[in-house]
Structure 1
Amino acid sequence: MRYFEDIAVGETASFGHYPVTRDDVIAFAQKYDPQPFHLSDEAAAATHFGRLAASGWHTAAMTMAMLVEQGTVDPQASLGSPGIDELRWVKPVYPGDTLRCETEILEKRASASRPEMGLFKSRVSVFNQDDVMVMTFVSNVMIATRP
């Protein structure tokens, strides 16, 4: 288990393998983002996407799944997150893509009011199978200090 004291600024990681399927793109869009270019090949073909594209929120959800999976490989004493900063959907994600993540610890600080925790910021970058960045954001994470 990794605690606040174990996190080092500048530390990087690369992980994840998430295949994007047409059925998943449509199912997510039907439930959460029912815009035509996420639901229909024909509608998407008439847009700048050129073909069916995943919702950016679906991309964020797939990224979260990879982050949680990585947490089973390299467990951290995470206490949740107060939010993210600088979310950017850089390129569309399409059915047939396979996503992966890279992270870099940008900063960390001890909590001023809660000595049992610290916080760190991490740049999360998501790439497709061609190493093209498709999304990036800064994650703010609360993490327990060593007992």
Structure 2
Amino acid sequence: MQVVTTAGHGGHGKSALVRALTGKEAGEPGAWTELPSGLRLAFVDAPGDERSVPAMLAGAAPAPAVLLAVAADEGWMAQTGEHLESLGALGARFGVLAVTKADAADPKLALRQARDRLAGTALRGMEAVAVSSATGTGMDDLAAALDRLAARLPVPD
């Protein structure tokens, strides 16, 4: 089973994505999903507030990939940048960008901001999906993107 950590600013929908994908609350044992291909993917839902950067690092360290959340209605935030820097220091090279809350605002601006911030990092060019965990819009596309991501990840130890 592959493991993906969540990253992004607090309140940008990381926990809601994990809940929508797994049916489990953040931090609850068994927060994993079976992807369309049959591969299983587990999630480490890292906290997003600035006091929790150490916990985010602990959660992200063993995971080879990231699900980066940026809310359509707020765009890129300082905490997202701090998470990105931390992930870079940990050597993260694989990920999916979820532009969340696509029901609350047009995701195009947040996607453009994220692409600009990711340029020049190992996560540049990662697949992006606009989603709303509230309405379910884009969740099938997110599962498919995570499936493609899981297929590219190195075999876990």
TM-score, normalised with respect to structure 1: 0.24
Greater fraction strand: 1
Larger Rg computed on CA atoms:
1
Greater fraction helix: 2
